[in-house]
């Protein structure tokens, strides 16, 4: 049975475009995560630690080994507070 050579060009285009989009997605997620692989099975504790690390370093996937927190860390809490009026 002969091969329909006319179908090779569209099939090649489909394969190339899937490759381009897959590579582009991989590159974009790699850059968005600071050059680290994607995280999977993230639970509440991991999310809390990621928010804390972001407040400490200013980067989504950054971590710090400095034992002292930066100056603005104490006032960058995610908790909303209300002002207490002195009576």
Model confidence pLDDT, tens digit, residues 28-83: 998 888 888 888 899 999 888 888 888 888 777 877 777 777 777 766 666 666 66
pTM of the model: 0.56
On whether the CB atoms of residues 60 and 31 are closer than 8 A, the answer is: no
Q: Domain map of the chain by residue range?
A: 10-59
| DSSP-H helix ranges across 4-76 | 8-32, 44-57
Specify the pLDDT at position 60.
Answer: 76
Specify the pLDDT at position 76.
Answer: 63
């Amino acid at each position: 049975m002969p091969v329909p050579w006319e179908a090779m060009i569209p099939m090649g285009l489909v394969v190339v475009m899937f490759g381009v989009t897959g590579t582009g997605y991989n590159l974009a997620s790699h850059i968005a995560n600071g050059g680290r692989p994607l995280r999977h099975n993230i639970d509440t504790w991991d999310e809390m630690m990621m928010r804390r690390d972001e407040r400490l370093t200013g980067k989504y996937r950054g971590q710090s080994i400095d034992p002292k927190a930066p100056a603005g860390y104490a006032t960058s809490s995610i908790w909303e507070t209300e002002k207490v009026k002195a009576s």
